[in-house]
Amino acid sequence: MENLWNDTEASKHKDILAERVYSSRLLGANTNLVLHGGGNTSVKGVSRNIFGEDVDTLFVKGSGSDLATIEARDFVAVRLDAMLKLSRLEKLSDIDMARELKLASLDPNAPAPSVEAILHALIPHRFVDHTHADAIVTITNTADGEARIRDLFGDEVIVLSYVMPGFDLAKLCAEIYPAQATVRTIGMVLMNHGIFSFGDTAKQAYDRMITLVGRAEDYLNTHAPLVPATGIEPAANWFELPGLRKKVSTAAGFPLLLRSNAGSAALSFARQPDIAAIAQRGPATPDHIIRTKRLPMLGRDVEAYTQAYKNYFEKNSGAVKTPLTMLDPAPRVIIDPEFGLVSAGRSARDTQIVEDIYLHTQDIILRGEKLGGYRALGEAELFSMEYWDLEQAKLKKAGAPKAFAGEVALVTGAASGIGKACVQAFLNRGAAVVGVDINPAVVSLYGDRADYLGIAADLSSTDAVKEILEQTIRHYGGLDMLVLNAGIFPGGKKISALGNDEWRKVMAINLDSNLAIMREAHPLLKAAPRYGRVVVIGSKNVPAPGPGAAAYSASKAALTQLARVAALEWGADAIRINLVHPNAVFDTGIWTPEVLAQRAAHYGMTVDEYKRNNVLREEVSSKDVAELTAEMCGALFSKITGAQIPIDGGNDRVI
């Protein structure tokens, strides 16, 4: 376990909260310690109230923040005396505890304090660190895990049986810590959950965490070494995955994305001879059940999985006094010998988080098996975490998802102009978006965000089209919406001067490539959970062509006819196909300031007059076209197909 502390860097952080942020980020930088919002840290200090009085304060990580990127504002200041007073109560429900924690906050606009705030207040050290370290969880998730932990750490660590985080865990700590702590005690292990370290300085607490977890890692490397899997190749027909996605989404009741990982580690785990046994023993830590559900689905029998989940709910909900509404029974983790590890989620970030968690879980399971057998918590305890009052309340507060949550859009010609604006419009509505363009800039258009995949490709190649769709499937599981925007507008040339090669080039890009992508995408659109939608970006030149644009006008007219025929043919598959015909959209690559000035002067207009040279005297932007395009894929157009809508401010020739 590498110690990342740097004295020079640490010296730049002058107050205790800044130190707390620095060491918290060091913990968050190591995914073997915490993953995606896991773990917790705090520091005890002093705040000054409006009366100028000092208030003993616990600064604790706020709910929803991530240690890897945490800022000072993400720590919630709560009154320390209120935390200690709460710990002396005999009983406190989780809902009441959450309310009291919020009331004890010194800033009403701060996020909700961690449910572990009372526990952190009770530990008599200034800095407290908490992680779900893989090495610790691996050892504790075995039949004799507690004995192994006690042998490994002795009285340096207090060991607690698993209790769900919150008031009950704080009460248990209040009883056991004073009785078991010695001058050598530097940490605490919560079975099946994780480890705490503490100290009087940020460095001391951090160093102790690294030391304790490092010893656990050394123990595993000796007693349960893990040999990385290499050289294992997938044997999947990726075009079968959209059908599985539709079944999973149907079970959930809403669209879900599927992300596949067919790396050697995932495939090796999926092909373990005893996978049916070892993968059905529960998550590495109960905190993960919210993301991954209690068990993964093995293979592709969605109906059997959902029925098993319903049985699990009925069996355990009877023991709960408060009536519960069953969460959707669809899996979030799918283990398949051909696909490898498939993660499901309402967003691309969700699927990434599920994948990251389960890749760590795989290693924990395999190493736990080498220690005599991996053992997670029992079904009842896991159910209590999955249907925890606070999680239920959080879901109710979350509100409705965005319009295209769980859906996938593919936009061609995405590097600039209308295509780029379309990408943004679909992202804003919650879709995962694949942007395709011959311009390599499309790849890095949105950095490394999970909900965008940029692909540089030549759409005139059918092989390239198939590769684009396979990448779309492997990243997101399928395709729901297709925006055909890519095209070229050659320089003005009369028919008498139009050569065959130029004609064929325009037709190949503006027409033939769109035929290929429509043909190859049809099975994916047919398998879309809410059925497929296609929007074709046409042109004013379809209803009102101009001289010198024969190839362009003819290609767009032919594309329009292709879309109309597809609307007729694909209606039986509930796939909607509509067209927009923009005109005079000047914020695109071909309209440089110089070209605009020349064209305006040619008509005796200013540039602004030229941009607004339409019936409504309105400038039409790429964003305008993109917003209409996105809306045509939404509920408002759910009963419309084969429509052609001009977006040009009103053109007298079209009208």
Overall CATH class of domain 238-394: alpha beta
44 pLDDT higher than 90: yes
Count of residues making up the chain: 655
CATH 3.40.225.10 boundaries in the chain: 7-223, 238-394
396 pLDDT higher than 80: no
- pLDDT given at position 270: 96
Are 480 and 501 a contacting pair, CB within 8 Å?
no
pLDDT digits (tens, 9 = 90+) for 133-161: 999 999 999 999 999 999 999 999 999 99
Residue 309, helix vs strand vs coil: helix
Lookup: tokens for 323: 């009536």
- pLDDT given at position 64: 85
Are 285 and 137 a contacting pair, CB within 8 Å?
yes
| Dihedral, 560, 565, 567, 571 alpha carbons, nearest 10 | 180
Residue 270, helix vs strand vs coil: helix
Of 372-376, 377-381, 643-647, which gets the smallest average pLDDT?
377-381
Q: Residue 357 and residue 477: Cα distance in Å, rounded?
A: 19
Report the share of the chain in percent with pLDDT over 90. 86
Better-predicted residue by pLDDT, 108 or 367: 367
* Residue 236: count of CB within 10 angstroms of its CB: 20
297 pLDDT higher than 80: yes
214 pLDDT higher than 80: yes
**In this structure, which CATH number among 3.40.50.12280, 3.30.465.10, 3.40.630.30, 3.40.225.10 belongs to the domain 7-223?**
3.40.225.10
CATH 3.40.50.720 boundaries in the chain: 408-585+620-647
> Which pLDDT band, with edges at 50, 70 and 90, does 129 fall under?
very high
Q: What is the pTM of this model?
A: 0.93
> Which pLDDT band, with edges at 50, 70 and 90, does 391 fall under?
confident
Q: Residue 269 and residue 369: Cα distance in Å, rounded?
A: 13
- pLDDT given at position 417: 94
SS (H, E, C) 566-621: HHHHHHHHCCEEEEEEECCECCCCCCCHHHHHHHHHHCCCCHHHHHCCCCCCCCEC
Give backbone dihedrals phi and psi of 151, rounded to 5 degrees, phi first.
-65, -35
For the segment 464-473, the average pLDDT, to the nearest whole number, is 97
For the segment 308-317, the average pLDDT, to the nearest whole number, is 94
- In CATH, which superfamily holds the domain spanning 408-585+620-647? NAD(P)-binding Rossmann-like Domain (3.40.50.720)
